Chain A
Amino acid sequence: KNEVEQSPQNLTAQEGEFITINCSYSVGISALHWLQQHPGGGIVSLFMLSSGKKKHGRLIATINIQEKHSSLHITASHPRDSAVYICAVGGATNKLIFGTGTLLAVQP
């Protein structure tokens, strides 16, 4: 079993829909990251969370430390949101353990 599990693996949505991607982890962490990766490889850090909730534009990330679970929400989804979304967790040593990613396709 992977230390970081994401669901779903693939997600297709219509433009404007509310999207949720889930991440569960089994190790102790100092922080959880949500990352976005577009075709071609470049990774962009969206959020780093250690507790509670963060919001940036149409993106919202929440984490429940007791449940070892985090969610990434996208409101009013748009085709430009199409990408792979990756959850990664980090301990005190700053080494990141990644999930396998969620491939999101938002159709117009």
Chain B
Amino acid sequence: DAGVTQSPTHLIKTRGQQVTLRCSPKSGHDTVSWYQQALGQGPQFIFQYYEEEERQRGNFPDRFSGHQFPNYSSELNVNALLLGDSALYLCASSPGLEMTQYFGPGTRLLVL
């Protein structure tokens, strides 16, 4: 079992651009959560997907959107990038409402 995988590992963008980050959950997991971790801070919840729908959302603007596919993989899209979007983006998966979340290695995004 490969565990939770994320791609790409690193990404550099410029202000105003759009970015798509990808996450493949652990085998058997159908719930995917996305978190943003700014440097020196704890992760902040962005949103969670279950059964291809956004189930709940944190305090992030509409520039942050996502999608979950039938195979439970997920994408995080950020439009109109700002310098402040530079962060480590973490994906975590869990089997439905089970609380144990397994984290991926993260995608480090730098916005210049």
Contacts and interface: CB of A to CB of B under 8 A. Distances in A.
* Interface residue range, chain A: 20 to 34
Chain B contact surface mostly: strand
Nearest to B90: A43
Chain A contact surface mostly: strand
Contacts of A31: 99
* Interface residue range, chain B: 20 to 34
A27 interface: no
Contacts of B48: 93-95
Contacts of A86: 42-43
A95 B101 CA distance: 10
B73 interface: no
Contact of B45 (A41, A45, A95): A95
Contact of A45 (B42, B58, B100): B100
Interface of A: 4, 30-31, 33, 35, 40-45, 48, 86, 88, 90, 93-101
